[in-house]
Structure 1
Amino acid sequence: MTPFAAGRRWTATIAWILLVLASLVLIGYGIWHAGWHIWLPRSDEQEQVWIGSRYILAGSALSIAAAIWSGARENRPWVTICVGLPGVLVGWAMMDDPYDLKRHLAAVVSFPLALAGVAEVIRVRRRRQRE
């Protein structure tokens, strides 16, 4: 592999990693912004939840796009699944009930898995570069 081709490969890998991280940041910011409520919040708090939900939806779309790109890049299947989990689980939990704690629990479960997928891609790329 020529140095130019290796550089392009790393550029694509870095862009993919940034896409995954951007999705996690948007989802996390949306969850933080929306908060959680036991009962239906007041009208001014409902607007904050609505804004946070839009961030969650944007992050979910980026997460699913990263999973599609991961499949196109021929990453391992578990990497592709783990990268798409935040978008699917947190997005579903938010759509199911925007005021519930489920989206927080989904983030706690899926964020470490997505980061593990990113770490695996970095590990594999470094190993290929050494060979």
Structure 2
Amino acid sequence: MTKKKILVPLDETDRSMHSLDCLKKLFKKDEVQVTLMHVSEIVIANDMVISNDEIVRAKEKGENILSRAEKQLEGYEVEKYCAFGYASDEILAKSKEDKFDAIIMTKSNKKGIARMIGSVTNKVLKNTQILVMIVPE
């Protein structure tokens, strides 16, 4: 049996960790390969210089988030992936490049119609051809 490839983007919020609970309810440990992903949104404008320290801190923060999530998926086949850029663009690029079967994301907790599922989730939904599962908070 070929394992399903699942991408789980996570941010620094506890709310994003709900995606892991969903994954564990839907898939047995031997059914999936999971890639946990964190995107540090370091945006450079007007030739602004970002120090090496800031990049190192952002990478460490991402690694900490992914390590915490990995512990919750003990027994699953897990890969961790950190990226820099716009979250939705990086998620879309990774999902296409590595040919994932599904993306599991937690919806935004921001208020208002435009923020119902979140701008990152919304952009991913509109621009991918694969299954996207949106987990309520």
- Name the TM-score, length of structure 2 as normaliser: 0.30
Higher strand residue share: 2
Decide which structure has the larger Cα Rg and report it: 1
The one of the two structures with greater contact order (alpha-carbon pairs below 8 A, sep at least 6) is 2
Higher helix content, 1 or 2: 1
Q: What TM-score do you get using the length of structure 1 for normalisation?
A: 0.31
